[in-house]
């Protein structure tokens, strides 16, 4: 799934490139869009992030007005989903990421199993 996100002036630092702190926000927004499109909103399908790794490949320079985040599900475990993502600008990949989120049971305050139907929707993306 592809998700285009507008940058803000505050996403850029004094060196004129997208600050490292903006990348996790863009990646999170794209994962959230993927989950909303497949299993529902956060209210309907609560989850928590348990791992995020980002490899920065090249800078994104001001005034890049949008970034494109490509998101796919690499694996669906018993309680977790592993996402692989690319963040690009101007047609070039600037960062790659791997994130793991866990389906969350708000009452138990712990991970919960992912049901068969949700598993199928997540994989179909």
Indicate the length of the chain as a whole number. 125
Q: Report whether 84 contacts 97 (CB < 8 A).
A: yes
* Domain span including residue 55: 2-124
Q: How many CA atoms does the CB half-sphere of 82 hold within 13 Å?
A: 7
Model confidence over 21-80: pLDDT tens digits?
A: 999 999 999 999 999 999 999 999 999 999 999 999 999 999 999 999 999 999 999 999
Q: What is the pTM of this model?
A: 0.95
Residue 24, strand partner residues: none
* The total number of structural domains that make up the chain: 1
Q: Report whether 118 contacts 39 (CB < 8 A).
A: yes
CATH number at residue 62: 3.10.129.10
């Amino acid at each position: 799934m592809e998700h285009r996100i507008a940058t803000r002036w505050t996403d850029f630092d004094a060196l004129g490139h997208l600050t490292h702190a903006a990348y996790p926000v863009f990646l999170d927004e794209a994962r959230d869009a993927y989950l909303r499109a497949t299993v529902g909103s956060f209210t309907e399908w609560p989850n928590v992030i348990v791992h995020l790794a980002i490899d920065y490949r090249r800078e994104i320079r001001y005034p890049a007005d949008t970034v494109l985040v490509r998101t796919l599900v690499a694996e669906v475990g018993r309680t977790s989903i592993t996402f692989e993502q690319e963040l690009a600008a101007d047609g070039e990949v600037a960062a790659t990421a791997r994130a793991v989120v866990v389906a969350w049971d708000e009452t138990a305050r712990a991970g919960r199993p992912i049901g068969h139907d949700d598993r199928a929707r997540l994989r179909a993306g």
